[in-house]
Amino acid sequence: MHVKTITTTPFSDQKPGTSGLRKAVSVFQQAHYLENFVLAVFDTLGNVSGKTLVIGGDGRYYNREAIQIIIKMAVAAGFGRLLVGKGGLLSTPAVSCVIRKHRAFGGLVLSASHNPGGPDGDFGIKYNIQNGGPAPEKVTEAIFQRSKALAKYRIAETPDVDLDRLGKSEAGSTAIEIIDPVADYADLMESLFDFAAIRKHIAAGFRVKFDAMHAITGPYAREILVNRLSAPQDCLLNATPLPDFGGGHPDPNLVHAKELVDMMFRADGPDFGAASDGDGDRNMIVGKQMFVTPSDSLAMIAANSTCAPGYSKGIRGIARSMPTSQAADVVAKKLGVPCFETPTGWKFFGNLMDADKVTLCGEESFGTGSDHVREKDGLWAVLFWLNILAVRRQSVADIVRGHWREYGRHYYTRHDYEEVEAEKATALINQLRSSLASLTGRRYGRFRIVLSDDFSYKDSVDGSESHQQGIRVIFEDSSRIVYRLSGTGTKGATLRVYLERFEADNSRHDQPTQAALKELIDIADDIAGIRRHTGRDQPDVIT
Ligand code: VG1
Ligand code: CO
């Protein structure tokens, strides 16, 4: 086998964000762009000779081309074995599962997750380490530094691998295995949840709808919900992965999964609805006429975790990202387990799970997961809810309302201002930062600020520190406003404003969310001058 050496020059913009490197497809299609980043990853890993690498993506436009390039570079780098999902497909949680099960050295995931796809959409790549989780910041930073100093890369001159046929082949000293992308993952799910109980519940007439949003989870949902749990075929919506996700945003929320949400709010709607994102790590849970916020979902899964056989012994702890509501904290307190607060992004949960400090993790951005893998996991959350519902035999709405009665309700919303000019967004954040000191003690109507800071995190396991992870303003009654700029967007800047208010009084648990948070929404603008800086009257997306 011949290996070609190709001269290249560095790109200056290959710094991974919240979750890998994300750029417009056209950026990735530039000569050497993908190759440079892949080489920066391989160089950062050191000696990869004989090691196993998992490769797969969410099926978006450019997935197949990228995988052929990565295979040839991995062969040239001397990897011993490549495990590639059939069709180039593997969901993010499935990559994590396969890395762990097959004791791989790491994996490359081709995805821009919830960002739109197609020739005019986004592409992305991220590296996952040996524990199956996203590379921590010290690794992504090393990759970025390396990307700025590349002069040449090596690529094997081998024919393209047939991605659509299961089986083994060889190139140089590398064994290339095309694997079933679903089997290992589906087996893991079956080992955690009471499939017999869920099957019985569905057979008894419990109606489920799952929207795969034309992204990666279609084949997974078909195997698990239809084949293994005997749900009717028509429980699946948009179940065929398409390179452009059918033109939509594969982001499971009230705005982008509207078709499903509308269905769930009809009087004759199904009992349970769920959706997942581009790469299968996010989940949205909706009951009949009841949307479950992701923050509440984490708390409710925690409170009911012993319903699932894989968690019957209870949980060791919970971790949530800082902007996620404090609903989980209240449950953790009652259970007598610790609750950790980390910066946004799943990479911060890995150490806590490896050190056995937490079992469940969650983010407000429709991400929930546990230590069964080291990624957030969309279908896992769906199955956890189905398991709870099959055991408790109540409606989603009854479980949610019962939870609020017991623990109080954390009203929660996120307002996103998308594609704001970068300078304007930076000016807003800078001004906020400089006003932090003067904010504490200030009163806005019935709300008094008791703490305002720029969130810093020190990892309790390896001592690493992350600064400037979001500006938080905390009020006397534990209400919060958090401001941060997205690290996954590819156009301009996205300002995220997170709002939360706790309501203990059961007679006030049925207000519409935006109305319940109206005062805080106004205060958020007062404090940060959102309209003044961005020129926007209202957010683009409210979740
Ligand atoms: C967003 C979410 C964050 C999530 C990240 C990756 O990041 O807020 O909670 O971990 O996306 O999710 P940001 O920096 O844009 O706010 V995924 O499913 O897009 O990989
Ligand atoms: Co995702």
* Ligand 1 atom closest to residue 281's alpha carbon, by position in its atom list: 18
Tell me the per-residue pLDDT of 300-314, one tens digit each, with 9 for 90 and over.
999 999 999 999 999
* Among 365, 417, 483, 541, residue to substitute to test ligand 1 (most atoms within 8 Å of Cβ): 365
E strand spans, 247-333: 272-276, 283-287, 290-292, 318-321
Tell me the per-residue pLDDT of 107-133, one tens digit each, with 9 for 90 and over.
999 999 999 999 999 999 999 999 999
Percent of all residues in the chain with a pLDDT value above 70, rounded to a whole number: 100
Which ligand is in closest contact with the Cα of 495?
Answer: 1
- Give, using CA atoms, the residue closest to atom 4 of ligand 1: 345
Q: Which amino acids bring their CB within 6 angstroms of ligand 1?
A: 18-19, 113-114, 277, 281-282, 321, 344-346, 363, 365, 367, 486-489, 496
Q: What is the Å distance from ligand 1's center to 488 Cα? A: 6
- Give, using CA atoms, the residue closest to atom 8 of ligand 1: 365
- Give, using CA atoms, the residue closest to atom 10 of ligand 1: 345
Q: What is the Å distance from ligand 1's center to 174 Cα? A: 34
- Give, using CA atoms, the residue closest to atom 11 of ligand 1: 488
* Among 109, 344, 349, 495, residue to substitute to test ligand 1 (most atoms within 8 Å of Cβ): 344
Strand partners, 175: 81, 170
- Judge whether 338 and 296 are in contact, CB under 8 Å: no
Q: What is the Å distance from ligand 1's center to 483 Cα? A: 14
Buried-state track 279-317, b at ≥16 Cβ within 10 A, e below 16: bbbbbbbbbbebbbbbbbbbbbbbbbbebbebbeeebbb
Which ligand is in closest contact with the Cα of 126?
Answer: 1
* pTM of the predicted model as reported, rounded to 2 decimal places: 0.95
| pLDDT score, position 457 | 97
* Ligand 1 atom closest to residue 376's alpha carbon, by position in its atom list: 18
216 CB neighbour count, 10 Å cutoff: 35
Q: What is the Å distance from ligand 2's center to 114 Cα? A: 5
Q: What is the Å distance from ligand 2's center to 325 Cα? A: 20
| pLDDT score, position 371 | 98
Distance, in Å, from the CA atom of 195 to the CA atom of 442, rounded to the nearest integer, reads 53
Sign of CA dihedral 492, 528, 324, 257: negative
Which ligand is in closest contact with the Cα of 366?
Answer: 1
* Ligand 1 atom closest to residue 487's alpha carbon, by position in its atom list: 14
Per-residue confidence at 279, pLDDT binned at 50, 70, 90?
Answer: very high
Residue reference for tokens 């996205």 = 494
- Give, using CA atoms, the residue closest to atom 2 of ligand 1: 365
Tell me the helix, strand and coil percentages in the chain, rounded to 5. Answer: 35, 25, 40
* Ligand 1 atom closest to residue 346's alpha carbon, by position in its atom list: 10
Model confidence at 370: pLDDT above 90 = yes
| pLDDT score, position 1 | 83
Which ligand is in closest contact with the Cα of 487?
Answer: 1
**pLDDT averaged over every residue in the chain:** 97
Report strand pairing: 236-237 vs 174-179.
unpaired
| pLDDT score, position 307 | 98
Structure tokens at 444: 């806005």
* Ligand 1 atom closest to residue 111's alpha carbon, by position in its atom list: 20
| pLDDT score, position 489 | 83
Model confidence at 64: pLDDT above 90 = yes
Averaged over 210-217, what is the pLDDT?
97
Tell me the per-residue pLDDT of 319-359, one tens digit each, with 9 for 90 and over.
999 999 999 999 999 999 999 999 999 999 999 999 999 99
| pLDDT score, position 490 | 85
Tell me the per-residue pLDDT of 42-62, one tens digit each, with 9 for 90 and over.
999 999 999 999 999 999 999
Model confidence at 388: pLDDT above 90 = yes
SS3 state of residue 58 = coil
Q: What is the Å distance from ligand 1's center to 200 Cα? A: 35
Percent of all residues in the chain with a pLDDT value above 90, rounded to a whole number: 98
Distance of CA 402 to the CA centre of its chain: 28
Considering only CA atoms, which of 171, 253, 181, 176 is closest in space to residue 213? 253
Give me the numbers of helices (H) and strands (E) for the chain, helices first please: 18, 27
For the chain, state the CA radius of gyration: 23
Distance, in Å, from the CA atom of 423 to the CA atom of 70, rounded to the nearest integer, reads 36
* Cβ contacts of 46 within 8 Å, gap of 6 or more: none
SS3 state of residue 325 = coil
Q: Which H or E element spans position 420?
A: strand 409-420
| pLDDT score, position 491 | 87
The full set of domains in the chain, from first to last, is 2-181 (3.40.120.10), 185-407 (3.40.120.10), 409-542 (3.30.310.50)
Distance, in Å, from the CA atom of 129 to the CA atom of 135, rounded to the nearest integer, reads 6
Report strand pairing: 152-156 vs 3-7.
antiparallel
- Give, using CA atoms, the residue closest to atom 3 of ligand 1: 345
Distance, in Å, from the CA atom of 184 to the CA atom of 220, rounded to the nearest integer, reads 11
Distance, in Å, from the CA atom of 175 to the CA atom of 81, rounded to the nearest integer, reads 5
- Give, using CA atoms, the residue closest to atom 20 of ligand 1: 113
Catalytic one of 19, 96, 113, 466 = 113
- Judge whether 314 and 305 are in contact, CB under 8 Å: yes
- Give, using CA atoms, the residue closest to atom 13 of ligand 1: 486
486 tagged catalytic: no
Strand partners, 413: 499
Residue reference for tokens 């997974």 = 220
Buried-state track 421-435, b at ≥16 Cβ within 10 A, e below 16: eeebbeebbeebeee
Q: What is the Å distance from ligand 2's center to 216 Cα? A: 10
| pLDDT score, position 446 | 93
* Ligand 1 atom closest to residue 484's alpha carbon, by position in its atom list: 16
Considering only CA atoms, which of 33, 217, 257, 209 is closest in space to residue 113? 217
Q: What is the Å distance from ligand 1's center to 294 Cα? A: 13
Tell me the per-residue pLDDT of 151-199, one tens digit each, with 9 for 90 and over.
999 999 999 999 999 999 999 999 999 999 999 999 999 999 999 999 9
Considering only CA atoms, which of 26, 20, 53 is closest in space to residue 279? 20
Tell me the per-residue pLDDT of 4-54, one tens digit each, with 9 for 90 and over.
999 999 999 999 998 999 999 999 999 999 999 999 999 999 999 999 999
Distance, in Å, from the CA atom of 515 to the CA atom of 412, rounded to the nearest integer, reads 11
* Ligand 1 atom closest to residue 17's alpha carbon, by position in its atom list: 14
Which ligand is in closest contact with the Cα of 543?
Answer: 1
Q: Which H or E element spans position 86?
A: strand 81-89
Structure tokens at 116: 């739109």
Query: What letter represents residue 37's amino acid?
Result: F
- State the SS3 of 429-490: HHHHHHHHHHHCCCEECCEEEEEEEECCEECCCCCCEECCCCEEEEECCCCEEEEEECCCCC
- Judge whether 429 and 471 are in contact, CB under 8 Å: yes
